[in-house]
Chains A and B, each alone.
Chain A
Amino acid sequence: MSGREAGREADPQTLEVVPGAPRDHIEGWIPELASEEELRAALEQAFSYRGDVLITRKDGSTVEGYVFDRRTGRSLGDSHVRVMAKDGSGKVSVSYAEIAGLAFTGRDMAAGRSWENWVRQYRERRAAGEKNISLQPEEIE
């Protein structure tokens, strides 16, 4: 059971510190989409992912970008994933029923810059007498 799952079971009114969310390591993942359940679960992961994904439609066309919304209905035809296209062509809606493949192609922007790394670096650099220490936002590609 992860910390956050344990936290979910605790009474929120008595909780001292919120258990952190576990980090998903799904960058580069190409999920199996053999069943409807697998497709729905993978698209939910794509919605939570802070990187770009590549969606391949059954007609072979593709759309790559950031999944900013999903609207789920009872059938795959009623369900849509909405993507901010990486090529600047705007918002694209893709029906779940059209999707043949999914790949987590973009870098996970929420991974790799953990608080612990910052604290360690900061203390080491400060102990070495450095000044004006900072953690800068990454350059935009």
Chain B
Amino acid sequence: MPVPISQAWTVATYVVRQKLKGRKRYPLVLMLEPLFRCNLACAGCGKIQYPGHVLKMQLTPEECFRAVEECGTPTVAVPGGEPLLHPQIGEIVEGLVARRKYVYLCTNALLLKQKIHLFKPSKYLTFSVHLDGQRENHDFSVCLEGGYDKAVEGIKEALARGFRVTTNTTLFDGADPNSVRKFFDEMMELGIEGMMLSPGYSYEKAPDQHHFLGRARTRRLFRAILSNRKKSWQFNMAPLFLEFLMGKRDYRCTPGGTPTYNVVGWQKPCSLLQDGSAATYAELLESTEWEHYGTESGNPKCANCMVHSGYEASAVNDTFGSLRALWATARATFSHEYKDPEALELLKEPVQPVHAFAPLVQIEEPVAQETRP
């Protein structure tokens, strides 16, 4: 199982309760961004480009707890910026855990070893470590040589202390599927609980404006990566969302599925797109014109998005929408390798890795086995 049964049960019963109440729009994961400041300057990130006085702002623990209670989700992701830069992050996480929220602390792990004493191992707390692939890919993507090694050092320390650890990986155009598959092996060998992955959102303010995956290429890339899976690989994500990325399913975006609270309030409509803010969660629900968001809305800012923040909520909603989808989820969780000979062919295609130093990867021809007469 990629997540503990108690967590799966909590989320499942929460979703079923929302459905029984007839709520068409319900939040699944709160994205709680306690600050925008970061200690990395990643090429594909458009979340941290703000004036200094905004970067200095941070949510108080009380503001965090109020947002969590307003929203009511069973799961809270704490990204940023880099949350470990927040001077009260230990107190914030402790308060969320005390409220029995499943917390995913999304960190680049550069400070994890140094700050791990602020946290206590708990089934409610997971460090979700940002790693965009193997060493060279990750370092180039986050514009920091040595970033991968530091993150892995943090992961090992957290695992040794009994914490739950996952990775989260964002892929851009030029990602080498063979390298990503090797990266999965490396991570599972480290002993992490599972992996998360997503195509990058095309942030208008990100430094790199040339390597955001379009939908067609996203589906091909994820089909190559996620087909013919190894049994050792575990994914800490909704299985049907991964099938969506592979092109096996089609979903409409659920922009309210992962509401976002940060230093300017409740961000409209999601964590990726900034189209204003609301003072309360109730105001966010009432004042956002939800039909203006999602690929099918025709909004150009949503046109190419296949990111988990909008589509994983759709996949989870689907899971509990029919016995067929529930069965598909169970099958994907326990037994599905996604055997696909065509996807194996995709792995042989040459790639132009742009978030890595090497200018071009040449795929070697398989060496013919020596035969004896």
Contact = CB atoms under 8 A, between A and B. Distances in A.
A and B interact? yes
Interface in A91-125: 91, 106-107, 109-110, 113-115, 118, 122-123
B55 A140 contact: yes
Contacts of A65: 53
A115 B207 contact: yes
B53 A69 contact: no
Nearest to B302: A12
B215 A66 contact: no
Interface string A113-141: 11100100011001000011111111011
A84 B53 CA distance: 9
A129 B4 CA distance: 47
A80 to B, nearest CB: 11
Interface of B: 37-41, 43, 46, 48-57, 140, 143-147, 173, 202, 204-205, 207-217, 264-265, 276-277, 295, 300, 303-304, 357
Nearest to B37: A140
Interface in A28-77: 47-48, 50-52, 65-66, 68-71
A126 B357 CA distance: 9
Contacts of A1: none
Contact of B54 (A8, A12, A21, A84): A84
Nearest to A133: B145
A21 B357 contact: no
Given A135-B41, A140-B56, 13 more contacts: A4-B300, A17-B214, A18-B213, A52-B51, A82-B277, A84-B54, A109-B51, A115-B211, A122-B143, A132-B145, A134-B144, A135-B143, A135-B144
Given A118-B143, A132-B146, A17 B213 contact: yes
Contacts of A50: 49-51, 205
A115 B210 contact: yes
Interface in A1-32: 4, 7-8, 12-18, 20-21, 23
A114 B144 CA distance: 15
A20 B55 contact: no
A66 B54 contact: yes
B53 A68 contact: no
Q: Label chain B's interface by main secondary structure.
A: loop
Contact of A68 (B40, B277, B295): B277
A134 B54 contact: no
Given A50-B50, A118-B143, A16 B276 contact: no
Interface residues of A, number: 50
What 7 pairs between A and B have smallest CB-CB spacing?
A20-B209, A15-B214, A115-B208, A135-B143, A18-B212, A141-B52, A21-B204
A7 B207 CA distance: 19
Contacts of A133: 145
A29 to B, nearest CB: 16
A138 B38 CA distance: 10
Contacts of A47: 276
A140 B145 contact: no
A70 B216 CA distance: 34
A134 B264 contact: no
A136 B145 CA distance: 11
Contact of B303 (A8, A52, A88, A107): A8
Given A110-B205, A115-B207, A12 B303 contact: yes
Contact of B41 (A21, A107, A113): A113
Contacts of B210: 17, 20, 115
Contacts of A91: 264
A137 B357 contact: no
B345 to A, nearest CB: 18
Contact of A106 (B46, B51, B207, B276): B51
A13 B215 contact: yes
Nearest to B39: A137
A50 B145 CA distance: 28
Nearest to A23: B209
B145 A131 contact: yes
B84 to A, nearest CB: 14
Contact of A71 (B207, B212, B276): B276
